[in-house]
Structure 1
Amino acid sequence: MTQVEEGLADAAPGAYDVVTYASDADLRAAVTAREVAGGVGVDGSGVTAYVASAASPAISGAVTATAQGLGQAAGAPVSVTDVVPLPEADPTGIGIGGLAFPLVFGGIVPAVAFRKVFARHLGWAVAGIATFSVIGGAIVAGILAFSFGSIAAAAFWPVAGAMALGIGALALALAGLQEAFGGKGFTIGAMVMMFIGNPLAGIATGAAWLPSGLGLAGQLLPPGATGTLVRSVAYFGGSGGLAAGLTLAGWAAAGILLLLVGARRRAAQPEAAPSASVAVAEPVAAVAAV
């Protein structure tokens, strides 16, 4: 395997963390379980690239190109095995890749709407956000399944649940920031989600395609965690989605906590006494003409 590692280092310096498996079957299982993004098998018959285009078409292409470079260097034939392929109706993954905008937008809208409508009733606000999230998740899953063909019909409810959790986590976090810190808290939170969380989510390419530090930061925010969870439940039976699910649950819990803290702080503030209007009559001098 030393020659293979040296070949990988020459073909793509620093791009891979090399993990050795005893057999091609073990490598395929690791790709299916999302323990690795892809791999290369080398034996007497040639070089085989094991990829999962459902996880990331970009990474799959990079692994395939690396395997072809190894095969050319060794004068060996190269084959490609897509362990978890994308659906034929959406071979480029454009449906899943376009989730970032509806996710962020879908989180901002209920945070604003329900906190305004139910300004004095946090329970109703949370219920409204939850209802909106469930409906929004179902709509997105329906579009992915029946318009784009990006997911199988059997994955409809898992994807709907993942999207609902993502929308709800983002909306509750923003509503909590608004309740606890006012408009400035909401504005800063929305800007972070839109201008940092969105581009670092890696929904279209996969988080592993981003630089390691930025990819990790993106996965700690709701957009990135939602993208990972949706791919996991849509194509991998949930494998690799536990951390993302816990991250979203943490954001939702933090949002509810901020809502409670803000409501308690508001209740502790004394209400301003109503101001009384007093009319003062100015003396008027009257002059009568005789």
Structure 2
Amino acid sequence: MPAAPNRRLVAVVLLVPVVVALALWAFAWPAARMAPRDLPVGVAGAAPAAGRLAQQLEQRDGAFEIHRYDSEAAARTAIEDRSVYGAVVVTPKGPELLTASAAGPVVAQLLREAVAASGAAGTAVPVTDVVAAPAADPRGSVLGASILPLAIAGVAAGSAVTLLRLRGGRAVTALLGVAALVGIVAAALTDSWLGVITGDWWSEAGTLGLTVLAIGATVAGLAALVGPAGVGLGSLLMVLVGNPFSGVTSAPELLPRPVGAIGQWLPPGAGGSLLRSVAFFDGRAAGGPALILALWAALGLTAVIGGGRRRLPAPDAPEATPSRQPALAG
């Protein structure tokens, strides 16, 4: 048996388990280590009682990042601005909890459990959902599941541009066209049909399209720079790293460090955060994620254009003329 097929056989046998192990690590490890880590939470009310409650929450080994507010109105504003995930308001009748299930149903449930554990046994804590998740998706399941199809769409767009050998302006036009159409179709499905996102329709379509563009441009840009291997590298980065590290099904602050921070710097995580902002919070706290997506898209498109120019042959290259040799005399 030839040596080359044997080496390919061994490579396949070893590579598949490595990819499976990487996928299990990326998806299962963050979920198994989910816990609050510096989760922004507000405390409002009179100084003595509010101070004691803040100390109780701070004693949870860095689980919460406490923000103090003078009134319930200020705490509500902070929740609506996405500065905190929720707030505990100390009143003469006892503590009251303000949550925002639209920011993450898992976080809202965690805050209920934490505040109930901090209070007296058998005492029910009133809960007000300041920014509620839509009735069509109260657990945020559909929103959490929407990021993976966007990542697949972006990878497919970048792969198609590479396989079809589109260069320069044609490649950029193809990526922009795919992103725009996917954004419109995805918004029509999730907003108009399912009703799981409820913000401004065109802002949602733009967010979905920009996420696909950032992923597709990155994949195509890597392929333009390093060849077909760039498609595999981009796919691994976006699907096996970016998707599970995005924190869209829970919250970045619930993932192990530095997974949550890394995920927010990748397009799937930034896209999920931006979609929450435009869908439920009127675009508040959207600047950072939008800038991250724009940077990925710009860098990827620049690499696509630069790589295409580098691979094109030089124009007006003189053709080689066959040398004429004198006929040999017999």
Interval containing the TM-score (normalised by the shorter chain): 0.7 to 0.9
1:202 maps onto 2:247 in alignment: yes
Q: Which residue of 2 aligns with 1:17?
A: 65
Q: Which residue of 2 aligns with 1:260?
A: 305
Provide the C-alpha distance between the structure 2 equivalents of 1:209 and 1:46, rounded to a whole number of angstroms: 28
Q: Which residue of 2 aligns with 1:29?
A: 77
Q: Name the amino acid aligned to 2:139.
A: T
1:39 maps onto 2:87 in alignment: yes
SS at match of 1:127: helix
Q: Which residue of 2 aligns with 1:108?
A: 155
Contact 2:220 2:230 in 1 (8 A): no
Contact 2:155 2:234 in 1 (8 A): no
SS at match of 2:103: coil
Q: Which residue of 1 aligns with 2:287?
A: 242
* Count of equivalent residues: 272
SS at match of 1:35: coil
Q: Name the amino acid aligned to 1:143.
A: L
Q: Which residue of 2 aligns with 1:138?
A: 184
Q: Which residue of 2 aligns with 1:148?
A: 194
1:177 maps onto 2:225 in alignment: no
Q: Which residue of 2 aligns with 1:163?
A: 208
Gaps of 5+ in 2: 1-49, 321-330
TM-score, normalised on structure 2?
A: 0.77
Contact 1:202 1:210 in 2 (8 A): yes
Contact 2:168 2:309 in 1 (8 A): no
Counting aligned pairs with the same residue, the percent is 34
Task: Assess, with a 3 A threshold, how the Cα gap between structure 1 residues 43 and 13 changes in structure 2: closer, same or farther.
Answer: farther
Contact 2:218 2:300 in 1 (8 A): yes
| Mean CA deviation greater in 224-233 or 154-163 | 154-163
Contact 2:253 2:260 in 1 (8 A): yes
- For residue 76 of structure 1, report the CA deviation from its aligned partner: 5.5
Whichever of the two has the greater Rg, that structure is: 1
- For residue 180 of structure 1, report the CA deviation from its aligned partner: 0.9
Q: Which residue of 1 aligns with 2:16?
A: none
- For residue 14 of structure 1, report the CA deviation from its aligned partner: 2.1
SS at match of 1:20: strand
Provide the C-alpha distance between the structure 2 equivalents of 1:123 and 1:261, rounded to a whole number of angstroms: 11
- For residue 221 of structure 1, report the CA deviation from its aligned partner: 0.4
Provide the C-alpha distance between the structure 2 equivalents of 1:197 and 1:62, rounded to a whole number of angstroms: 24
1:229 maps onto 2:274 in alignment: yes
Q: Which residue of 2 aligns with 1:126?
A: 172
Q: Name the amino acid aligned to 2:141.
A: I
Q: Which residue of 1 aligns with 2:6?
A: none
| Mean CA deviation greater in 188-197 or 259-268 | 259-268
Contact 1:106 1:167 in 2 (8 A): yes
TM-score, normalised on structure 1?
A: 0.87
Could you tell me which of 91, 110, 113 is aligned with 2:138? 91
- For residue 70 of structure 1, report the CA deviation from its aligned partner: 2.3
Provide the C-alpha distance between the structure 1 equivalents of 2:319 and 2:155, rounded to a whole number of angstroms: 35
1:56 maps onto 2:104 in alignment: yes
Provide the C-alpha distance between the structure 1 equivalents of 2:224 and 2:318, rounded to a whole number of angstroms: 23
- For residue 13 of structure 1, report the CA deviation from its aligned partner: 3.5
RMSD of Structure 2 on Structure 1 (CA): 2.4
Provide the C-alpha distance between the structure 1 equivalents of 2:63 and 2:193, rounded to a whole number of angstroms: 36
Structure-to-structure mapping, 1:271-286, within 5 angstroms: none
